[in-house]
């Protein structure tokens, strides 16, 4: 039996001699990385566009609120118009209410604000036109809760309240 050395073989002979072996190509890993990078770029471009749209919406909201809070005060709308009231047309409108507080107990609604945890103090007010609305009289910290629970809702004498009309918000303990 004779011995054959590989000295006379060409590169093609080497490849043919290894026909049964498999060598993984590094191309597959690079291709997946490129797809992942492209996906990341698309996500960040989408988020950037969303932020620009959100900025336009927010600037419009700020301008609308600023215009309404500095507008001349108007009488608060009565029950005949309550069904038609919406945030787009009425929220933050500067309104005036003339009447008297009910004299009953306050309602405390738990809230979290920049001042910390506490309660919004809500008191029913009977308008001179004959309807009753809840007036948010402000925020009290948790430490003063008992003081405002025991307080009557305010004087029964005629009172005029100027404020901003707010639309009811969805439930939750973190309303501001």
Q: What is the CATH number of the domain that holds 148?
A: 2.40.50
Q: Do 125 and 94 have their domain in common?
A: yes
How many domains does one find in the chain?
Answer: 2
- Note whether residue 85 is domain-resident: yes
- Note whether residue 123 is domain-resident: yes
Q: Do 31 and 105 have their domain in common?
A: no
Domain around 88: 74-164
Q: Do 112 and 147 have their domain in common?
A: yes
Q: Final residue of a domain: which of 35, 70, 105?
A: 70
Q: Do 53 and 102 have their domain in common?
A: no
- Per-residue pLDDT tens over the stretch 103-151: 778 889 888 888 889 999 998 999 999 999 989 989 999 999 888 886 6
For the chain, which residues score pLDDT lower than 50?
A: none
Task: Please give the pLDDT value at position 168.
Answer: 76
Task: Please give the pLDDT value at position 148.
Answer: 84
Residue 154 zone, left/alpha/beta (φ > 0; ψ -120 to 50; rest):
left
Q: Do 58 and 133 have their domain in common?
A: no
Q: Final residue of a domain: which of 31, 47, 70?
A: 70
Task: Please give the pLDDT value at position 49.
Answer: 97
- Note whether residue 136 is domain-resident: yes
Q: Do 84 and 141 have their domain in common?
A: yes
Task: Please give the pLDDT value at position 156.
Answer: 74
């Amino acid at each position: 039996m004779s011995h054959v050395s590989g000295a006379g073989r060409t590169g093609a002979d080497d490849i043919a001699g290894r026909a049964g072996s498999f060598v993984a190509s590094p191309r597959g890993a690079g291709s997946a990385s490129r797809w992942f990078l492209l996906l990341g770029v698309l996500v960040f471009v989408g988020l950037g566009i969303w932020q620009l749209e959100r900025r336009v919406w927010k600037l419009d909201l700020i301008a609308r609120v600023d215009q309404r809070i500095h507008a001349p005060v108007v009488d608060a709308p009565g029950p005949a118009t309550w069904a038609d009231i919406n945030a787009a047309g009425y929220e933050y409108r500067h309104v005036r209410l003339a009447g008297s507080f009910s004299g009953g107990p306050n309602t405390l609604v738990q809230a979290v604000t920049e001042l910390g945890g506490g309660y919004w103090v809500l008191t029913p007010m009977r308008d001179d036109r004959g309807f009753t609305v809840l007036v948010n009289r402000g925020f009290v910290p948790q430490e003063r809760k008992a003081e405002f629970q025991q307080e009557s809702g305010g004087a029964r004498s005629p009172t005029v309240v100027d404020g901003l009309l707010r639309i009811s918000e969805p439930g939750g303990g973190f309303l501001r």
